[in-house]
Chain A
Amino acid sequence: PHLKASNSLSHSLQAKMSRPVQARRLEGIDKNIWVEFVKLAATYSKVNLGQGFPDFPAPDFLTEAFSRALSGGNHMLHQYTRAFGHPPLVKVLAQFFEKLLGRDLDPMTNVMVTVGAYQALFCCFQALVDEGDEVIIIEPFFDCYEPMVKMAGGTPVFVPLRPNPPKDGKLMSSADWQLDPAELASKFSERTKAIVLNSPNNPLGKVFSREELGLIAELCVKHDVLCISDEVYEWLVYDGKQHIRMASLQGMWDRTVIIGSAGKTFSATGWKVGWVVGPDRLLKHVRTVHQNSVYHCATIAQEAVAQGFQRELMLYGKPESYFVQLPKELQQKRDWLVRSLDGVGMKPIIPEGTYFLVADISQFKSDVPDVPNSDEPYDHRFAKWMVKNKGLAAIPLSAFYSEAHKNNYTNFIRFCFAKEEATLKAANDILQKWKQEKTSS
């Protein structure tokens, strides 16, 4: 009997040891574009227009709020606050969004604070997407949506924005990239749980129009589908365009979770303060995930962000409002970069919003040869070559496509223009020099 027991023990041990140690939910989600490209930028770049963060300072009123909180003598700000959001922050967010959505909001049940919009997305997927659910993702997309859907056991279903270049040879706008309504409708099935909307869109900068949103809303209502609305760039909208909130459309409040970010709103990406706004019957599940994953978010940054919002609430619509000044400043930077890229033969797609810009690099193909039968999409190789040889960092557009569609658009790269004038000038210098080298060779 002793021998039998030890045999069965070693047998089960063998079975255990032959299984991978990690959970199956990690399958296919271990790769990450940022790990590679952030390292490359850190190693090689002289000018980094890659990862999306400002290289100009966060506004004084925000950093001063942080300092005030620290010097205020309330050392309890170093301790846990309310798990679902620091009371002053959820209160002011509720006030703000009441204005924007035109409906009453309860700060305790309609708002939840998260560790950046990233964690808000995670909580929403975990709370609302089950194994077997389909989730529609519009391509190109912020890369985390796909692995998050997969980690929740869901199946991503992709639908592309398709470029319709203007006939007159003018530069494309992000508005020229559109969904085909019939194609979109065909993606909705009985298994469709949610659609992820990102407007203004990263990487293209597209700001979905009321009609485009209406199209999506109609389908959501028809198929009883939820909308996960990533609106982190809500304030970065140019040319007098308006950011329209999906949740304000007919029939959508009850089925939409809105995600926002203090990092993008206040140019402080390193603070990692985000939020979810929505109806209690969806938020309560999001809260359950949050309380079983991180539970509390850091207190002090929430206190400072609350003060930032209080200031903006008072200055709403006024010229001194940061939400008026920042897009104004960024629009100038956008236009500068557009001229810069156009001047050297890269074709920028003029973004209606966000601080990203995608450019067509087909004219620079000569420097970076095609490698037929290569697994790596061309834009990937181009971006790597560019940072190593020219010191200019940008992100290949194929990073924002599903595996199946990575090779559909391989001549585009994404630049971030939330950068100081000096940075943009330095980028221009690199591009000009590069152009000269090409014409002289």
Chain B
Amino acid sequence: MFLASRNFCCRAIRTHQRRTDLLCRSIKHSTSATMPFRHKNTRRIEGLDSNVWVEFTKVAADPSIVNLGQGLPDISPPSYVKEELAKVAAVDRLNQYTRGFGHPSLVKALSQVYEKVCGRKIDPLTDILVTVGAYGSLFSTIQALIEEGDEVIIIEPFYDCYEPMVKMAGAKPVFIPLRCKKDGNSASSADWVLDPAELSNKFNSKTKAIILNTPHNPIGKVFTQEELQVIADLCIKHDTLCISDEVYEWLVYKGKKHIKIATLPGMWERTVTIGSAGKTYSVTGWKLGWSIGPEHLIKHLQVVHQNTLYTCPTPLQEALAQALWIDYRRMGDPDCYFYSLSRELQSKRDRMAQLLKEAGLKPVIPDGGYFMIVDVSTLNVDLSDVDEKQPYDYKFVRWMIASKKLSAIPLSAFCGPETKKQFEKYIRFCFIKKDSTLDAAEVILKNWNKQTG
């Protein structure tokens, strides 16, 4: 009603500047006073505004808190990686646009590295897309291949962006949890498995894709050949795509092997494999990632990319290409950073696990990645007087930050609505931290039991 009368008022106005000004002023006043602003968020982002990181990365800004929360290395990237970027700064043309789908020297380097790993020819121009972090690859893949009416299987716990990205594409996330096969007494990430029958039941004619994350964040599970085969069999049977998030592919610990699901028979043509410079070289702030797969899938990701940000930064891509060449040339050598980083992290992993056990906590030792989940229920910290609506792990982390000056991430942030109860006794620690950070964590953990509450 009010709208109609306002329009009527407007139609009568001439285009005389002074009257226009008066009109604008009166509309402004009436608009701000009583007119509801009709410009709300679009449907695609309804309910997607909140995010676990908003709260918990603010914490990181406080230097008095030992931050083992967000997956942010505080170790230095290898010096040659930093040097390559410094060299690039001096080259004029590298400050201007490069090829949209990926800087030529970078896609060439990626194709060489991954040809070696996968044992198959990879065309740098058609089988690869360079994106703004693996995050950007996930987004490009999902926007390219997923839409309303589709279902996407997500394994819980999951890196939290999968769910909102699937929803933003208009599709329905279908969750399946990893379950601890040892009656809740888990010592290793390998104890967490999918139930094959349960998994099979999640597939139907609407299942467009399954998102696989191996090595897994947050648990650190490295899926075995057999486990991957179960997933592959279902993908082939139901003609389902596989979005394989392998950002931690190089961070695999002794005795374990990272296997690419795309290398299993029948899987290359239906899999998009995602990698990350940030995780490979401890340069999360470079925000470079890549999607690798068959041309008939990658071409659609390229269309999304050309309509979203068009090209990624040139200097960083060039520096990354040079770093990859250095490591490509020594892929047979134990000094290759692809292997040396995981050796460095293994000792940090073991130290972290030891400290946690001594404090009375139950860590789940990860086979890969740089996160460790910990069962905190053993401490019996009573938080029942705190807001009941919040999951236990959220309350525990906030309490731990406030009283112990140590931060972590609550695991229920990585679960769908049905599973939150299952995981709310776990929190996630990040151990890609320099010795002094781990030393500070050690002090807190050793003193844990000395303080009350």
Q: Which residues of A contact B (CB under 8 A)?
A: 9, 12-13, 15-17, 21-26, 29-30, 32, 34-35, 38, 51, 53-58, 63, 66-67, 70-71, 75-83, 115-116, 118-119, 122, 126-131, 144, 147-148, 151-152, 181, 193, 211, 214-215, 217-218, 221-222, 224, 226, 250-251, 254-255, 267-272, 281-282, 284-285, 287-289, 291-301
Residues of B within 8 A of A71 (CB): 86
Question: Is A295 within 8 A of B313, CB to CB?
Answer: no
Question: Is B23 within 8 A of A218, CB to CB?
Answer: yes
Residues of A within 8 A of B42 (CB): 126-130, 152, 285
**Given contacts A30-B303, A115-B132, are A80 and B20 in contact (CB under 8 A)?**
no
Query: CA separation between A67 and B89, bound complex, in Å?
Result: 7
Q: Which of A29, A272, A292 has the most CB of B within 10 A?
A: A292
- Residues of B in contact (CB 8 Å), total 92
Residues of A within 8 A of B285 (CB): 76-81, 296, 298-300
Cβ distance B337 to chain A, nearest Cβ, rounded Å: 14
- B297 (CB) vs chain A CBs: closest residue: A21
Tell me if B27 counts as interface (CB < 8 A to partner A). Answer: yes
Question: Is B205 within 8 A of A16, CB to CB?
Answer: yes
Query: CA separation between A147 and B307, bound complex, in Å?
Result: 7
Question: Is A76 within 8 A of B307, CB to CB?
Answer: no
- B136 (CB) vs chain A CBs: closest residue: A294
Question: Is B39 within 8 A of A57, CB to CB?
Answer: no
Query: CA separation between A82 and B285, bound complex, in Å?
Result: 10
**Given contacts A122-B307, A270-B313, A270-B314, are A75 and B96 in contact (CB under 8 A)?**
no
Residues of A within 8 A of B307 (CB): 29, 122, 144, 147-148, 151
Question: Is A26 within 8 A of B303, CB to CB?
Answer: yes
Cβ distance B335 to chain A, nearest Cβ, rounded Å: 21
Cβ distance B59 to chain A, nearest Cβ, rounded Å: 13
Cβ distance B290 to chain A, nearest Cβ, rounded Å: 14
Question: Is A70 within 8 A of B85, CB to CB?
Answer: yes
Question: Is A272 within 8 A of B312, CB to CB?
Answer: yes
Query: CA separation between A217 and B239, bound complex, in Å?
Result: 52
Cβ distance B180 to chain A, nearest Cβ, rounded Å: 30
Cβ distance B86 to chain A, nearest Cβ, rounded Å: 5
Contact count A vs B, C-beta below 8 Å:
258
Q: Which residues of B contact A (CB under 8 A)?
A: 7, 10, 15, 17, 20-21, 23-25, 27-28, 31-32, 35, 37-45, 48-49, 51, 53, 57, 70, 72-74, 76-77, 82, 85-86, 89-90, 92-100, 132-133, 135-136, 139, 143-147, 161, 164-165, 168-169, 204-205, 237-239, 241, 282-288, 296-297, 300, 303-304, 306-316
Cβ distance B210 to chain A, nearest Cβ, rounded Å: 14
Cβ distance B273 to chain A, nearest Cβ, rounded Å: 16
Residues of A within 8 A of B7 (CB): 222
Question: Is B169 within 8 A of A23, CB to CB?
Answer: yes
Query: CA separation between A80 and B21, bound complex, in Å?
Result: 46
Cβ distance B191 to chain A, nearest Cβ, rounded Å: 31
- B25 (CB) vs chain A CBs: closest residue: A250
Contacting residue for B95 out of A17, A67, A268, A285, CB 8 A? A268
Query: CA separation between A391 and B395, bound complex, in Å?
Result: 67
